[in-house]
Amino acid sequence: MSTRGVVTVMLGAAVLFSLSTHDDTRARAAPARVAPLDNPDGMGPGLAPVRSAGDRSTAVRLIGRLRVGPMGSKASYSRARFGENWADTARGVPYARNGCRTRDDLLARDGENVRYRRGSDCVVVSMKLRDPYTGRIVRWTKKRSDEIQVDHVVPLSYEWRMGASRWPLSKRKRIANDPLNLLPVYGDANEAKGGSGPASWLPPVRGVRCAYVVRFAQVALKYNLPVTRADKTVMLAQCR
C-alpha cells in the first residue's frame, strides 16, 4: 500500500473512533417531581413539596415514629466505610447491580433532557436539573461534574455517628446507594450541608423543607437509624 493509502486508512480510523466516542444525541424528558409520601422506594424523581393539610399530618405522624438517640463520635469515619464511591455493588436496593454506577442512575432519574455517551445506556454526559434545594436550574455537562452532586439526604457521617459504625459493610453499602437516600442537587448547596442533620441545615427553599425532612425520616426508619432530639424537633416543626 502506498504512503498516501496508509494515511487515508489512518485518517478514516480516527474519524470512526471520534464518532464512536462522541456524546449520544438521544434525549429524554424527565417526569414531574414526586412528593416523598408518594415515593416510598425513592424511584420517583426529585422532591415535590408536601402541600395538603392531610399529607402534612401524615408527615408529622411519620416523623413521630423516629427513635431518638445521642450522637456518637466521628472517629474512624471515612467515605470508604460505606463501600467504593458510587460502585454498583450493593444488594437489595433499587438499581443495584444493573451495570450502571449509582450516580448515573440518579442523574438519569432526576434530570431533564438527559444525554448519554454514545454507545452507553449508563454514562450521563449532560442534562438539566431543577435543584430541589435552591430552586436553581442547572444546565450541566460532565466537564463540570461538581456543579451537580448527589446528596445523601441522611449524610453518611451522620449515619456513622448515629450507629452505622456498628453495622456490617453490606448494610452501609445499601444505605449509601439506596435511591431513597439520594438526590442530585446543586453542588454548592450540598457542600454547605456537609454532614449536618436538620437542626443544623435545611434547604434554602422553604416550600420543600417538609418534603426534605419526610425523606430524611423515611431513610432513618427504613434503616432503623435514630436521630438526635434536636433534629426530630426541627423536623416536626417543618410539617406543622
pLDDT in tens, 11-22: 444 434 443 445
For 62, the grid coordinates are 411519620
- Range from 15-24, 144-153, 156-165, 207-216 carrying the lowest mean pLDDT: 15-24
Measure the CA–CA gap between 127 and 131, rounded to whole angstroms.
Answer: 12
DSSP 83: -
CA distance 151 to 203: 12
pLDDT top residue among 188 and 26: 188
Q: Measure the CA–CA gap between 94 and 174, rounded to whole angstroms.
A: 10
d(CA 175, CA 211): 19
* 4, β-bridge pairs: none
pLDDT, tens digit, for every residue of 88-125?
A: 999 999 999 999 999 999 999 999 999 999 999 999 99
Cβ pair 86, 102 in contact under 8 A: yes
pTM of the entire structure? 0.89
Read off φ and ψ for residue 146, nearest 5 degrees: -75, -10
The tens digit of pLDDT for each residue in 153-188 reads 999 999 999 999 999 999 999 999 999 999 999 999
Q: How far apart, in whole angstroms, are the C-alpha atoms of residue 231 and residue 211? A: 15
Instruction: Give yes or no for a contact between 124 and 115, defined as CB atoms under 8 angstroms apart.
Output: yes
**Residue found by looking up cell 402534612 in the block:** 56
Name 64's Cβ contacts closer than 8 Å, sequence gap at least 6: 236
Q: What is the pLDDT of residues 62-74, one digit of tens each?
A: 999 999 999 999 9
* 209 to 43, 200, 206, 212, 228: CA distances (angstroms): 20, 13, 5, 5, 18
